[in-house]
Structure 1
Amino acid sequence: MLTNHPMIDVGIAVIVSHFDLDDPADVTKEQLKEFAQYLEKTYSSPYFHSFLSVLFPNSAYVNPTMKEERKREALDEVLYGFLKDEEGSNGTCSFCGQPSHFRAFRQHVPLLTGEGLINFFPSRRTGLEICPYCLLAVQAFPLGSLKISGQAFFVHADDFNVTIELAHRFKLMNEQNALLKEAKASPDMKYPKTQFIRQFLEVDRFLKYEEPEGSVTIYHLTNYGTNADISMYHLPVQILSFVYDMKSAAFYQTWQQMAHDAWGVPSKKGKKGEKGTQSFNLPNRLYEDLFDLPAGYASFIRTHLVEGAIRRYKSLLNGKEKDILHYWEIGKHLMKEVVQVREEKIEEIKQMADRLVEYLLKTDDHHFFQRFYHLRNRNKYVEYEELRNLFIKANNHAIRHGANLDQSWELPITFDQFINVFEQWEDPYEGNWQVGRDLILIRMMEQLYEKKWFTRHREILKESEPEEDENQLEKEEA
């Protein structure tokens, strides 16, 4: 029976996956005994001796001063308690409500207090009532966790199938580590948020079935000494669905490039005998920033979409023309599915970008694009005024250019468009005109790249900003 307690449910997931089952109710008592024996043997390895010392301090797993008789008694209590006769149990499990005859402390369940301390317990009684089944599940949860930065990292999802798949994947990794003769030989992984996204994308289930239902919470905890602590990172369902959607053909190539660009730079030298920083020790900024969504979507767009697109197109400066990547499509999907901006708003941004592209193709006004491109690096208070003045100049340029050719042109920017795109933001995360500007830049760059405009104007992608000249447009037309 699931309890909605993360440690217990992850432990149940480990047991269920061990016997290749889907429903916890299908696990028999004989199988629980078999699993308890397997757990006792697995936890005797040097790797788990190190791992469990931060979760079950002074327990029978890690306490070298504990006599064999007491150690056997302690292991029987936490691993084989379900074999005892439940008659005479006068307590109730705090997690599932079943009869309980055992009171747990920090050496049995992480983050509880030690023996003799009455803080946070009712009726002046120390310890927490727990039934033998939940106690076994707690003992099993480290097997469904990863050791990251010296702490236990595990995942609890609304969709129990997700919990099972990730717990099973972590269990297989831990079984490999348990074969090592020295604990120090195991990978020293870091950055729990990065590791979760990596594992989420690699789990086989997500290559076969429909996208997961519900949200996910990641736990990173230690129960060691006086530094017991826990960190929790929550990913709502819309973020998980967004990550899942990135595997589709429409987004996959661009997403892979974004993930590649976001990896930290490994060090070339490590400690003596080491080759340097390994990939599992590096943060991926893209994966880390997913946890700031949806509230941090403006920064996400600028960091991973705008700068990613710019980095891509700058390859032209080195004479390398690459396949077109669809940053705009990812930005559009992010705005619609994660930020939940109206589709009409997204379409207005797209239309404005397309009109500006048409204007540039007709006039070759590389001065306008260069100014617009460099606005992202300016003071935001000065930037908005410059943006507005830039559009006014572009309209004037279009009028004069059309008059010189004896043609009537449609203005690149209208009043209604400007208000709708830059002034009227109704999303709950306080979006502003800078988001509109960034999305327009992404769309413009993709269209101009596709139409070979950058091939004729490679110099405009250089970082140096053009010198200010208020009469530049008039000089060009003269």
Structure 2
Amino acid sequence: MIETKIQYTGHFFVDAGIAVMEHYLQKECQSFSQEDLDKAAQWLTVLYQRKDIKGYLTIHFPNSGWCNATISTEKKAEYQEKVLKSYLLKPIGERECVYCHRPAQFLADRQHIPLLTGMTTIITSPGGVPGLPVCGYCLMAVQFYPLATLKCQGKPLFWWTPEPQLLSELTGEYFRQLMQLLAGGSEKLVNLDWPRTMLLNTASRVLDTYGDDKPLADCIGLHVTNYGAGPDYHQYRIPKELLEFLSEIKVMEQEVRDAHQYIIQKAWEKEKKAGDKINSENNSTGITRNFYFEALVKAFEDVDWQKNIRGIVGEFHLKTKPEEFHYNSFKLTRFFLEKVGGMEKQRLDIIKKIADQIANHLIIGNNEKKWLNDLYFRESKPSHFTGYLIKAQKSLAEKGQSFTFEDVLIMLDIYSIDDAGVKDFWLVRDLFLIRLLEIIGKHKRDLLEDLQFADEDEIEGCN
């Protein structure tokens, strides 16, 4: 009996294919037997004969024996034998597999492995010889990778992460969805949209059942193909910190969970037809767009991603409509900024302390809405916000509840005279509003009832 050597390598095409094989065979790759490999190969060969999947394979393995209609039946069978059972061949001299470093048994090109060049092209070929040296096991695994993908904007979309357990769960979601689409009987696979939404919606669903004892890691959503004039490659980074936030928020207090769930549900795009909303079934497959998921994933595409992450607070966390006031949750936003936005605990503590003092002693205690109105209605500028803090400090000092100048510097992230101005006062203002609306809504909601109708004289009252 031949010893099987299917193993994760750290390369996304190989690893995605192995994850599919594990789901089909219902066992981990290190337990694969020769009979398992034979079973998987036979299943794949039959599946890839279907008309609906053949068309999809052209964007994975162009002109290959899987999908080229001009190749004879005998040539197709020969091709499939090579890509699925090259592990039976002798090594090619002393060359190593580029993925696992075992002896290479095959020289692959773009019809065997995506994103490569043609068989006669020597550009970037290892050692100046056309073809990529691979072992038969890695080559076999790559043939299963299309089943780890969904067709999105005409290109395969799939997952990779260095944690095999997490990769298996994420890949399993797409594998099951693809099998459901194939079971639908259509002649061609549906072409989905909004890759960022699809990725983060999938991650959120996986985390619902992913055990707390299982490891999380940085993930990449890959959106790639070499179908057409040349390779087309894009990756979406989904960091471990974001996954941890999404996972841990699910076990926090009910009101915090509700506030986050409201953000997600409110962010689903509505149909363009008047009065109709996208139904939940479409949402679950990522057919429509979720603006919150889009913003989260897009934030990490920039070098200055922390600023983008913090901008999400004002766009999605702060609820300024009266009917949504009760979904303001400082604890949710604080956890988000600490976990994902890299914001210091001390700074957030001070923001909460001063906001609580204003809410309890100046607004609720004195029944003065002007301290809320002045933030809620006024155009936000650094000069206005610092003036607001000065007036609040003076009024609180009269009540024996003052905060210090050092508190203000830390809150505004100013640590030396070299700091140029107030860097993110808008974020502090948004956090103030989230906390003020939350506290007042819980303890004296009547102060919020006519907030949107406050007159101009009252708005200017604390100037």
Coarse TM-score class (shorter-chain normalised): 0.7 to 0.9
What is the rounded CA distance, in whole Å, between the counterparts of 1:288 and 1:244 in structure 2? 18
State which structure, 1 or 2, has the greater radius of gyration over its C-alpha atoms: 1
Q: What is the match of residue 288 of structure 1?
A: 294
Q: 1:457 deviation in Å? A: 4.2
Partner of 1:416: 406
How many equivalent pairs are there?
A: 438
Partner of 1:343: 345
User: C-alpha displacement at 1:210, in angstroms?
Assistant: 2.8
Matches within 5 A, 1:198-209: 198-203=201-206, 206-209=209-212
User: Cα RMSD over matched residues?
Assistant: 2.9
Is this contact kept in 2: 1:353–1:444, CA < 8 A? yes
TM-score using structure 2 length: 0.86
Q: Counterpart in 1 of 2:3?
A: none
Deviation at 1:88, TM superposition (A): 6.4
Letter of the structure 2 residue corresponding to residue 108 of structure 1: H
Report the Cα distance in structure 1 between the residues aligned to 2:349 and 2:50, rounded to whole angstroms: 59
CA contact (8 A) 1:155 1:163 kept: yes
CA distance in 1, matches of 2:111, 2:455: 62
The equivalent residue for 1:432 is 424
1:10 and 1:155 in contact (8 A); partners too: yes
The residue type equivalent to 1:287 in the other structure is F
- Aligned in 2, Cα 1:68/1:10: closer, same or farther, shift over 3 Å? same
Contact 1:354 1:444 in 2 (8 A): yes
1:138 alignment partner in structure 2: 142
Q: Which residue of 1 aligns with 2:312?
A: 300
Q: Secondary structure at the match of 1:287?
A: helix
Q: Pick the aligned partner of 1:212 from 212, 215, 219.
A: 215
CA shift at 1:5, angstroms?
Answer: 0.4
Give the structure 2 partner of residue 402 of structure 1: none
Per the alignment, in what secondary structure is the counterpart of residue 310 of structure 1?
Answer: coil
1:209-358 correspondence to structure 2 within 5 Å: 209-210=212-213, 212-250=215-253, 251-268=256-273, 278-279=282-283, 280-291=286-297, 292=299, 295=306, 296-306=308-318, 309-311=319-321, 314-315=322-323, 324-325=326-327, 327-358=329-360
Give the drift of 1:107: 0.9
Contact 1:90 1:101 in 2 (8 A): no
Gaps of 5+ in 2: 1-6
Counterpart in the other structure of 1:167? 171
Which position in structure 1 is the counterpart of 2:4?
A: none
User: Structure 1 residues 52 and 473, CA, compared in 2 at 3 Å: closer, same or farther?
Assistant: closer
CA shift for structure 1 position 413: 5.3
1:56–1:106 CA contact under 8 A, matched in 2: yes
Structure 1 length-normalised TM: 0.84
CA shift for structure 1 position 89:
5.2
For 2:151, the equivalent position in structure 1 comes to: 147
Q: Taking structure 1 as reference, are residues 154 and 469 closer, same or farther at Cα in structure 2, changes over 3 Å only?
A: closer
Amino acid at match of 2:143: Q
Q: What's the counterpart of residue 466 of structure 1?
A: 456
- Local SS of the residue matching 2:119: coil
| Structure 2 residue matching 1:234: 3-state secondary structure | strand
The percent identity for this pair of structures is: 23
Deviations 1:310-369 (A, max 9, x none): 23xx118xxxxx8x4352111111222223433222111111000110211133332332
Q: Distance in 1 between matches of 2:452 and 2:385?
A: 19
Structure 1 consecutive aligned stretches of length 4 or more whose deviation exceeds 6 Å: 467-470
Instruction: Tell me the CA shift for residue 99 of structure 1.
Output: 2.1
- Of 355-364 and 338-347, deviating more is 338-347
- The separation in 2 between residues aligned to 1:17 and 1:181, in whole angstroms, is 22
Quick one: structure 1 residues 142 and 469, their matched pair in 2 at CA, closer, same or farther if it must change by over 3 Å? closer
8 Å CA contact 2:267, 2:290 repeated in 1: yes
Q: CA deviation at 1:410?
A: 2.6
Runs of at least 5 residues in structure 1 that lack an aligned partner in the other structure: 317-321, 400-407
